Amino acid sequence: MICRIRWKEGGGVNYHTAMEIEFANGKKLRLVQGDITKIRVDAIVNAANSALVGGGGVDGAIHRAGGPGIMRELDAIRTQLGYCPTGSAVATGAGSLPAQYVFHAVGPVYHDGHHGEPAELEGCYRKCLELAEERGVRTISFPAISTGAYGYPGAEAARIATHTVARHLEKPETGVREVLFVLFDGGSYDLHAAIAAADFRNQIK
């Protein structure tokens, strides 16, 4: 993998700091600090629960900002499928959010890391990227799935998230051009930035 890392200070209107990793094929992975409901992309990923019933954290923020239509779509999915398994995701429209789709990913509750949590967390990112490719999505934003109420250690989760996304972006055939990690707090941003800088630095052009 060959990529270029750039740091931007100041950022745009909706975010403060940004780190950009550009792969040899021109595709980009960006880290920004901000509120995922405020940043325009084709698809926003939600950190949902298996029952798809809504909750706090980023899920609450997405439903508040997107309006009741998103929950109505989830009600229909629940009627059809019952629930969404951990490590997977389902797609709805985005209501009044600045996006076309929301992908509701169900991350693992962290126990000790030896109960399948890493594979399930990776599964969330892979499934959302698969949903994105099926729908012709070019830009997609992710929160730090499972690192809030579900208790996944931030550094381990950040490594899984960035590497899973990087592996996808490196593929020549992908339609997704840009993936944003939208980190809500400075600590989470710094953690992701440190891991990305360390793990991708050797590949700088």
For 25-116, where are the alpha helices, taking DSSP H only? Answer: 57-66, 69-81
Is 148 near ligand ADP (CB under 6 A)? Answer: yes
Is 58 near ligand ADP (CB under 6 A)? Answer: yes
- Residues in the interface with ligand ADP (CB under 6 A) total 21
* 35-54 binders of ligand ADP (CB under 6 A): 35-37, 47
Is 122 near ligand ADP (CB under 6 A)? Answer: no
- Cα–Cα–Cα angle for 3, 9, 15, rounded to 5 degrees: 95
Candidates 5, 8, 16, 57; binder of ligand ADP (CB under 6 A) is 57
Residue 80 per-residue DSSP state: H
The minimum distance between CB 25 and ligand ADP, in angstroms, equals 27
Main-chain phi, psi angles of 171, to 5 degrees: -70, 135
CA dist list (Å): 3 to 95, 170, 172: 35, 10, 14
Is 184 near ligand ADP (CB under 6 A)? Answer: yes
The DSSP annotation for 110-163 comes to PSSS-SSHHHHHHHHHHHHHHHHHHTT--EEEE--TTSSTT---HHHHHHHHHH
42 flagged as catalytic? no
Is 33 near ligand ADP (CB under 6 A)? Answer: no
Q: Which is nearer to ligand ADP, 35 or 130 (CB)?
A: 35
| Residues that bind ligand ADP in the complex, under the rule CB under 6 A | 35-37, 47, 57-59, 61, 107, 143-150, 182, 184-185, 188
For the annotated catalytic residues, the residue numbers are 59
